[in-house]
Each structure stands twice: as structure tokens, then as C-alpha cells.
């Protein structure tokens, strides 16, 4: 791991560090809360010395097994978010910065294959580091900012040296290329939260226009930068919003119409809207040129129909929710109209309620803390609603263990948007969400917190307000099933998500022992329910919740995770694939054995992930099916069943550890 150090200054510091590390490991064995401050201070000193990062890189495994991450988020590397890592590195105190630096050395060791971590794969670690580097591109110039220089205890210097170390090992040449590729990869998944993507594009723009940084082949980078900062001829040199508004006042009809078309083209090309786009829409409203709005949004026939049937509502949504600070909602609004969402009358009524909804003080404070005060909290929430209804597959769980609740929001936004808006109204206005479980009312008001203890982090506005309630309700339903002999999802999912969750239920492992049982029958039931060749060519009508056993790129078990199966069908290459929604903010994972989830190029709609059906089945753990529409179990080919069982038995089911998480 790395090269040996020959720095005389480093040796005594390392001896002291190793002694403190050994003491800390002993102390943690008897007291899980033993202080790590002494150890972290020694680590900070080592980081300031030449060769220090290399020495710590070789000790990453020892540091983690000693308990340096404790029970913090860092102990679960798969849920860490690059945008938060940037804050920990650049703006936090010494303790947080040092822990973050150790965590990133760990990510590098996992990426390079020097350290196997059961909680994260090499690919996930590489994507994480690429994004962290994208968000800290200004460090490439070698010049520390005033803020970095002023930080106490040489923290600015430490962060810069960490960055140099990462770039040295990950390769500088391809950095801009891999950052641009990473941004496109994330945009392919149609996320509703694009703040950190926009930050990355801002950093890429600085890189492109910095004469000190060599860049080549920048067409893909320029498309991204232009989408945010120069989407039209009138905003070509990023003149600033006020000047742009003056230019709009002076444009003739032909120029204005061409400007509208350019906005639509840029937005549909990337899935990103620009602050200039919001300025344009507000200008059209003020100057009574509503006829240009469908062109500015780039609507097709369905979207136009929705717009003209519900013009008053759409214009109210623009007036109330579309500002430069919420400009991504321009894309959300477009996609919402393109989905024909307003043709469900109850959705239109619920949106009128949402526009006028009074928010509780708690809701207002939470929104203000997360999104700032450039606009009132209700504006951010309404923009969030528009984004979610436009891109139901774009919601992510952020830095929170809440996959169950996130797939609920996605399912309702796709399937039953009026129910989603009802739940949101309760949560935002009344600080309470009501549900039922087996005939008994469940209210979120007096329940203990579920898997998230505080405010959810790094999520969209709707998730921020609703997820804590859903998480508590899900936890309560789980408690009511604890003493049952089967997997609790059998009872919870139909009550939690809705009537369309099928009543048939299969789980591959014994709920107590984790032992795999009747694997053959499990796979046959899945195929006879979902595979068009064996289920009487019956399409999947409603998305179904399912559980998968996630593995890393070496096919080792990482944990159980909730997803939704959206559809099963032939890809453009005539391959039977399962198309599914994964709420973990990253649908393109490598699960080992050559099984890599795809997000484009195999007939996926934006936001979907997909796999060939056998590969998907090999990671399936739990699913629902319709007992009354089951196909012929015996028609499923033995050879296919055997292959799937083999993939399962040589990956997640190689041991009984799959029983250990929910």
C-alpha cells in the first residue's frame, strides 16, 4: 500500500501516532464511547508532514477497525454524500476535517483494491471520490483561497495536500474528462436534487476558463456549462440576470421567439434549467406573452393539451414557484405537463390547495435551514412538488437510511399524486401524517423517530418535510409485526404503499436464521409472475416494491435494499430486462459477476435502472406477486433457474450474512 517514507521528521510523529492508535483501540474495546480526540490530533500532525498521507493510507484499515468512525455516518460509507464531504473538508473544525480526510484515504484504498470494505464497492468509492474532486476543483490551481489559508491548525494546507495525494493516485490527465462523464452519468438518472451537480458544473466552468489549467476535447463540458450559464444567444456571455432582463425588454418578436426555442433545446438536451430560463418565464408573464410559454418549455402534444386545459393553474404555478433560485422547477413543470399529470382532476385540485397551503412554523424553519431565505419557504416547497411530480424516478434518499420511504414518494408521484399531495399537506401544515395498519389508525405525531433521528440530509424539499413522518410510521408498522414468524414486509408493504401492492409474497431466506430455502420455487414464482414469456404475456400494471441483496463489484454481500420493479420487457436488442427504480442516488452500480446496472442504452426511460432478468433475479430477495395471475411454474426453463441459483449462491448467499439487515 503506497511507498515507504524516508522523512526523518515523520518517524517520531508516526511512532507516537502508532502508540496512541494502539491505546485507542484497547480503550474502544471496553468503552465504545472512548474519546478519539487524542488520536485525531496525532493524525492531524502526521498529515502536515511530507509522506504523512502515505503513512496514514497504509494504516486506514487499522484506524477503521480500532473504531475511529464510531457510529457516525462515516461508519456507513455507502450513504456518504460528496456535497457534505466538501463541507466537512473545507468549512468544518479540525476534528471533522481530519475524520473526513481519513475517510477519503479509505475510499482511495477501496478504489485501488488495497482494502476490501463490506459496506462499499470499489466503483462506488471511485464515483464518490470523483464527485468530491469535482466539487473541489479550485484546489487544482495550487493557490489556497484566503478562507483556506486562514483556517487554524494548517487545515487549509492539509486539505490541499490530501487533494494532491488523491489526484496523484487517481490520475490528473483524465480528471476533467471523468468529471464531465460523472455529471452526465448523474444527469442520465433524472435527479430532482441538482444542487451539487450544478456546483460541479460551476467548477468545470472555472476549469475551462482558467488559462493555467490545460483542457482538451471540451465539447461535452461546454454543453453542460452553457446549459447553466449561457443557454441562449441573449445570455451568451453570462451577462447576469438584471442585464439579461433588460435585453428581453428590447427584443423584437422574432428574436424573443428564437430565444424561447433555444431555452427549450438546451433544457431538453441536459435535463437542466438555467436561472435565465426562470427570468424568461417571469418576463413572459409580466409582458402578457403567455403564448410563448409552451415554446419556452419545449412542450409536445400531450404537454400542450395539459397546458391549454389547465392554463390558469399552470400560470399560477409559474407565478408562485418559478424563480432563479428554483429554476430547476422549469424542467419539473415541463415533465409534469408532458406526463399529462393534470388530467387527473383530483391532482389539479390538490395543486390549488398546495399553492395556498399555510405552513407550520416547524416546516418553515426546516425549509429555510435547508434552502436559505432567498425565497419564502412555501416557494421552495411548491417548486419541490413540481419537480417530484415531473420526475417521480428522480427522488433519492440522500444521506439517510430511508429507501423504504423514498420509494413510497416515487410510487405515489407516479401512481397516485393526489395521495402524495394529501400526505404532504398533513405533514407541512399539521406536523402529522395519518395512516392505517390492519384496521388501526397510525399517526406519526407521537411515534419515536425511525431510522433517521434528526432532519434528513441532502434531500429535496418534499422529502425533507414528509420523510421523517413516513419513517416513523414504517418503523411503527415494523414494531407491530416483530413477533411474527415471517418477513414483516409481507404485511407492511400493502398497507404502507397502497392497494396495488400484490397480496402474494415470497422471501428467499428464513427470517430468523437467514438460511436460503426453496430457492428454486422462489425463482420460478418470480418468472411466472413477471416474465412475459411465462406469465401469459401480462404487463406489470403497477410498480411493485421489492428487496434486493446488494453486492459489491467482487460479488460480496453489502446489505439489503428496497427498490421498485417498474416493468419487464424486451430491450431494443431483444433481451428480456427488468426495469427498476433505485432510490439510492446512484443507479449504475456494479454488483460483481459481470452484473452492472445500466441507466441508458438498453431502452431505459430517464430515471430507470435495468438488468437482464436472470441477473436481476440473482440479487432478488423479496417480491410481491398476484396470486390470481400466476403463470406456469413448470414452464420456466430448469437451465435458467440453475444459472440464477448459482449466481446467488456464489455471491450474497455464499454465507448467511444476508439475514442481518433490513
* CA neighbor of 381 nearest in space, from 411, 410, 360: 360
CA distance 109 to 106: 5
**Grid coordinates given for 244:** 439579461
CA distance 87 to 109: 22
Could you tell me whether strands 434-437 and 576-581 are parallel, antiparallel, or unpaired per DSSP bridges? unpaired
Beta bridge partners of 590: 596
* CA neighbor of 616 nearest in space, from 565, 656, 570: 565
The three-class DSSP label of residue 494 is helix
CA distance 616 to 530: 12
**Grid coordinates given for 418:** 393526489
Q: What is the DSSP letter of 548?
A: E
Task: Find all residues with CB under 8 Å of 150, minimum gap 6, and list them.
Answer: 156
Q: 134: exposed, middle or buried (C-beta count within 10 Å: 0-12, 13-18, 19+)?
A: buried
pLDDT, averaged across the chain: 90
Least confident span in 198-202, 245-249, 302-306, 620-624: 198-202
Share of the chain above pLDDT 70, in %: 95
**pLDDT for 178:** 74
Q: Is the pLDDT of residue 591 over 50?
A: yes
- Confidence band for 662, pLDDT divided at 50, 70 and 90: very low
E-state strands within 83-172 = none
Helices (H), 531-621: 613-617
Contact status, residue 18 vs residue 62, Cβ threshold 8 Å: no
Secondary structure (DSSP) of 327-351: THHHHHHHHHHHTTGGGSHHHHHHH
Could you tell me whether strands 620-625 and 434-437 are parallel, antiparallel, or unpaired per DSSP bridges? unpaired
| Residue range 475-492: mean pLDDT, rounded | 91
Higher pLDDT among residues 330 and 588, named by residue? 330
Beta bridge partners of 241: none
Q: What is the DSSP letter of 516?
A: B
Read off the pLDDT of residues 89-141 as tens digits, 9 standing for 90 and up. Answer: 888 889 999 999 999 999 999 999 999 998 888 888 988 998 888 777 767 65
Beta bridge partners of 563: 546
CA distance 276 to 273: 8
With the C-alpha atoms ordered 452, 585, 418, 350, is the resulting torsion angle positive or negative?
Answer: positive
The full set of domain ranges for the chain reads 10-172, 248-392, 394-495, 502-660
**Grid coordinates given for 491:** 404485511
Q: Is the pLDDT of residue 656 over 70?
A: no
Contact status, residue 613 vs residue 595, Cβ threshold 8 Å: no
**pLDDT for 146:** 65
CA distance 13 to 559: 38
- Identity of the highest mean pLDDT range in 134-138, 304-308, 458-462, 485-489: 304-308
Task: Find all residues with CB under 8 Å of 657, minimum gap 6, and list them.
Answer: 514, 557
Share of the chain above pLDDT 90, in %: 68
Q: Is the pLDDT of residue 396 over 80?
A: yes
Q: What is the DSSP letter of 605?
A: P
| Residue range 599-618: mean pLDDT, rounded | 95
E-state strands within 338-427 = none
Read off the pLDDT of residues 267-325 as tens digits, 9 standing for 90 and up. Answer: 999 999 999 999 999 999 999 999 999 999 999 999 999 999 999 999 999 999 999 99
Higher pLDDT among residues 579 and 656, named by residue? 579
Contact status, residue 87 vs residue 46, Cβ threshold 8 Å: no
Read off the pLDDT of residues 188-232 as tens digits, 9 standing for 90 and up. Answer: 889 999 988 898 898 788 877 766 666 665 788 889 999 999 999
| Alpha carbons within 13 A on the beta-carbon side of 484 | 12
- Confidence band for 659, pLDDT divided at 50, 70 and 90: very low
Read off the pLDDT of residues 565-581 as tens digits, 9 standing for 90 and up. Answer: 999 999 999 999 999 99
* CA 458 remoteness from chain centre: 9
Whole-number CA gyration radius for the chain: 26
Task: Find all residues with CB under 8 Å of 357, minimum gap 6, and list them.
Answer: 378, 425, 428, 429
Q: Is the pLDDT of residue 2 over 60?
A: no
**Grid coordinates given for 139:** 484546489
Residue with cell 421552495: 380
Amino acid at each position: 500500500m503506497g511507498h515507504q517514507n524516508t522523512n526523518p521528521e515523520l518517524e517520531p510523529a508516526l511512532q507516537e501516532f502508532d502508540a496512541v492508535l494502539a491505546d485507542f483501540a484497547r480503550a474502544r474495546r471496553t468503552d465504545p464511547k472512548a474519546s478519539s480526540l487524542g488520536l485525531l490530533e496525532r493524525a492531524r500532525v502526521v498529515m502536515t508532514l511530507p509522506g504523512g498521507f502515505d503513512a496514514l493510507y497504509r494504516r486506514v484499515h487499522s484506524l477503521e477497525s480500532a473504531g475511529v468512525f464510531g457510529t457516525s455516518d462515516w461508519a456507513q460509507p455507502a450513504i456518504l454524500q460528496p456535497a457534505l464531504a466538501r463541507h466537512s473538508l473545507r468549512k468544518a473544525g479540525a476534528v471533522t476535517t481530519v475524520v473526513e480526510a481519513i475517510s477519503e484515504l479509505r475510499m482511495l484504498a477501496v478504489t485501488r483494491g488495497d482494502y476490501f470494505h463490506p459496506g462499499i464497492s470499489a466503483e462506488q468509492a471511485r464515483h464518490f471520490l470523483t464527485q468530491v474532486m469535482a466539487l473541489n476543483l479550485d484546489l487544482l490551481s495550487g493557490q489556497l483561497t484566503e478562507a483556506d489559508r486562514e483556517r487554524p491548525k494548517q487545515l487549509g494546507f492539509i486539505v490541499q495536500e490530501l487533494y494532491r495525494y488523491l489526484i496523484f493516485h487517481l490520475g490528473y490527465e483524465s480528471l476533467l474528462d471523468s468529471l464531465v462523464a460523472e455529471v452526465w452519468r448523474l444527469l442520465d438518472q433524472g435527479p430532482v436534487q441538482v444542487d451539487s451537480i450544478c456546483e460541479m458544473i460551476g467548477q468545470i466552468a472555472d476549469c475551462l476558463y482558467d488559462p493555467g489549467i490545460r483542457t482538451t476535447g471540451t465539447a461535452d463540458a461546454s454543453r453542460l456549462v452553457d446549459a447553466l450559464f449561457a443557454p441562449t444567444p441573449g445570455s451568451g456571455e453570462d451577462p447576469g440576470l438584471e442585464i439579461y432582463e433588460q435585453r428581453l425588454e428590447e427584443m423584437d418578436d422574432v428574436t424573443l421567439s428564437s430565444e424561447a426555442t433555444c431555452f427549450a433545446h438546451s433544457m431538453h438536451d441536459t435535463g437542466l434549467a438555467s436561472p435565465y430560463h426562470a427570468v424568461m418565464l417571469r418576463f413572459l408573464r409580466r409582458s402578457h406573452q403567455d403564448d410563448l410559454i409552451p415554446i419556452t418549455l419545449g412542450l409536445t402534444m400531450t404537454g400542450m393539451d395539459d397546458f391549454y386545459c389547465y392554463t390558469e393553474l399552470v400560470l399560477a404555478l409559474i407565478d408562485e414557484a418559478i424563480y432563479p433560485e428554483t429554476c430547476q422547477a422549469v424542467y419539473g413543470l415541463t415533465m409534469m405537463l408532458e406526463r399529462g399529470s393534470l388530467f387527473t382532476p383530483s391532482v389539479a385540485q390538490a395543486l390549488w390547495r398546495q399553492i395556498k397551503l399555510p405552513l407550520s412554523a416547524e416546516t418553515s424553519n426546516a425549509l429555510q435551514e435547508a434552502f436559505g431565505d432567498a425565497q419564502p419557504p412555501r416557494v421552495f416547497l411548491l417548486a419541490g412538488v413540481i419537480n417530484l411530480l415531473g420526475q417521480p424516478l428522480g427522488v433519492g434518499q440522500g444521506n439517510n437510511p430511508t429507501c423504504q420511504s423514498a420509494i413510497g414518494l416515487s410510487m405515489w408521484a407516479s401512481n397516485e399524486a393526489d395521495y402524495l399531495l394529501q400526505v404532504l399537506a398533513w405533514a407541512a401544515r399539521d406536523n402529522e401524517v395519518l395512516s392505517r395498519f390492519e384496521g388501526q389508525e397510525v399517526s406519526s405525531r407521537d411515534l419515536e423517530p425511525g431510522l433517521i433521528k434528526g432532519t434528513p440530509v441532502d434531500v429535496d424539499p418534499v422529502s425533507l418535510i414528509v420523510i421523517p413522518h413516513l419513517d416513523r410510521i414504517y418503523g411503527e408498522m415494523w414494531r407491530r409485526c416483530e413477533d411474527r414468524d415471517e418477513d414483516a414486509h409481507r404485511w407492511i408493504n400493502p398497507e404502507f404503499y397502497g392497494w396495488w401492492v400484490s397480496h402474494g409474497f415470497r422471501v428467499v431466506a428464513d427470517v430468523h436464521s437467514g438460511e436460503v430455502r426453496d430457492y428454486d420455487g422462489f425463482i420460478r414464482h418470480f418468472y411466472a409472475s413477471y416474465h412475459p414469456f411465462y406469465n401469459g404475456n401480462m404487463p406489470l400494471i403497477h410498480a411493485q416494491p421489492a428487496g434486493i441483496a446488494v453486492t459489491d463489484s467482487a460479488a460480496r454481500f453489502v446489505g439489503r435494499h428496497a427498490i421498485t420493479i417498474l416493468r419487464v420487457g424486451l430491450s431494443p436488442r431483444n433481451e428480456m430486462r427488468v426495469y427498476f427504480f433505485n432510490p439510492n442516488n446512484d443507479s449504475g452500480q456494479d454488483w460483481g459477476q459481470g452484473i452492472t446496472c445500466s441507466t441508458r442504452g438498453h431502452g431505459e426511460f430517464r430515471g430507470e435502472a435495468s438488468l437482464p432478468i436472470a441477473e436481476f433475479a440473482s440479487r432478488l430477495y423479496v417480491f410481491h406477486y398476484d396470486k390470481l395471475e400466476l403463470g406456469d411454474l413448470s414452464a420456466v426453463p430448469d437451465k435458467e433457474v440453475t444459472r440464477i441459483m448459482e449466481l446467488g449462491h456464489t455471491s450474497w448467499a455464499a454465507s448467511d450474512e444476508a439475514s442481518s439487515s433490513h
